[in-house]
Amino acid sequence: MSPVQENSRWPRVSKFTLSASAATVAELVTFPLDLTKTRLQIQGEGGSQQHGGNVQPPKYRGMLSTALGIVREEGPLKLWQGVTPAIYRHIVYSGGRMLAYEQLRESVLGRSEDGVFPVWKAVIGSMISGALGQFIASPTDLVKVQMQMEGRRRLEGKPPRVHGVYHAFTKIVAEGGIRGLWAGWVPNVQRAALVNLGDLMTYDTVKHFLLRNTSIPDNSICHGLASICSGLVAAIMGTPADVVKTRVMNQPRDSNGRGLLYKSSTDCLVQSVRKEGFFSLYKGFLPTWFRMAPWSLTFWLTFEQMRRAMGISSF
């Protein structure tokens, strides 16, 4: 039985569950690096760095300094602040993107019987599946970013904006309506499309290239090598959109849910480059890469082992 035929007989809910479970494991392991990355990206924007008309120098310089500062000033458990909505997000996002990509690869775009999937098809499939999964999961991503910044607000003497996941959801809806849950969805979806172009396309392409052209078998070594490549490419492709997404989602809003700092993701991009230079778009690149690398490694190894245990062919 071919991989296409074997995969098609498995219910979609089973594949969704496996993807969501593997993503949950990866998220728990690497979440402190995501918090570190978010804090670094927020530094420098107008809403958090101006005091008395003067621009204050960045509090943190580098991933290690940021992580140690959070542990020292807020406590070690704060490194996992916002992990609950992050897990909710990945249940929806990773479960959706993986299921969508596999369906596109096997049924819509078409992979040949010997497993060859052209790169151009992988590009299309990965970007569509990433954008779709992220659009559905955007409300949970908004809540996650806001909760990650609560520790910093308390240290600055500002009142907390949210007190938990449920309160964050209800507050956003009360201030901006249902549409407020999708604030920043454009840069969100743009980032997801780029990240999945790097992650899904690279992993799928590199893995099957290794299987076809080397003596490496379809095991954890092959999966690990492919995941390392996918994490690096995903970080390079996704960091600029991630910076813009984080700033747009974290900005204060008026009673109509409109942002007070940026009119759109394009406006945020232009302001960031004009005020802070092009490389401001790569703020937090190292923690992004250092997080994506272990996240990708943990996710793909867990995902492939779960598939094998369930009797589903390798991805």
What average pLDDT does range 174-179 have in this prediction?
82
pLDDT band at residue 51, thresholds of 50, 70 and 90? very low
What average pLDDT does range 167-187 have in this prediction?
81
What average pLDDT does range 76-98 have in this prediction?
86
What average pLDDT does range 66-94 have in this prediction?
84
pLDDT of residue 48: 45
Distance from C-alpha of 196 to C-alpha of 123, rounded to nearest angstrom: 9
Burial state string for 203-220 with b = 16 or more CB within 10 A and e = fewer than 16 = bbbbbbebbeeeeeebee
pTM over 0.75: no
Distance from C-alpha of 262 to C-alpha of 252, rounded to nearest angstrom: 10
Note the pLDDT tens digit of each residue in 251-310: 877 777 677 888 887 888 899 899 888 888 888 788 778 778 888 999 999 999 999 998
pLDDT of residue 1: 47
Residue 129 has pLDDT above 90, yes or no: yes
What average pLDDT does range 26-53 have in this prediction?
68
What average pLDDT does range 166-172 have in this prediction?
81
pLDDT of residue 49: 45
Whether residue 42 contacts residue 247, with contact meaning beta carbons closer than 8 Å, is answered with yes
Mean pLDDT in the chain? 82
Domain ranges of the chain: 185-283
pLDDT of residue 96: 92
Note the pLDDT tens digit of each residue in 212-230: 999 999 999 999 999 999 9
Residue 9 has pLDDT above 60, yes or no: no
pLDDT of residue 100: 94
pLDDT of residue 165: 77
Distance from C-alpha of 235 to C-alpha of 41, rounded to nearest angstrom: 14
Of 147 and 233, more confident: 233
pLDDT of residue 47: 44
pLDDT of residue 58: 57
Q: Residue 268 contacts by C-beta under 8 Å, 6 or more apart in sequence?
A: 187, 244, 247, 248, 261, 262
pLDDT band at residue 61, thresholds of 50, 70 and 90? low
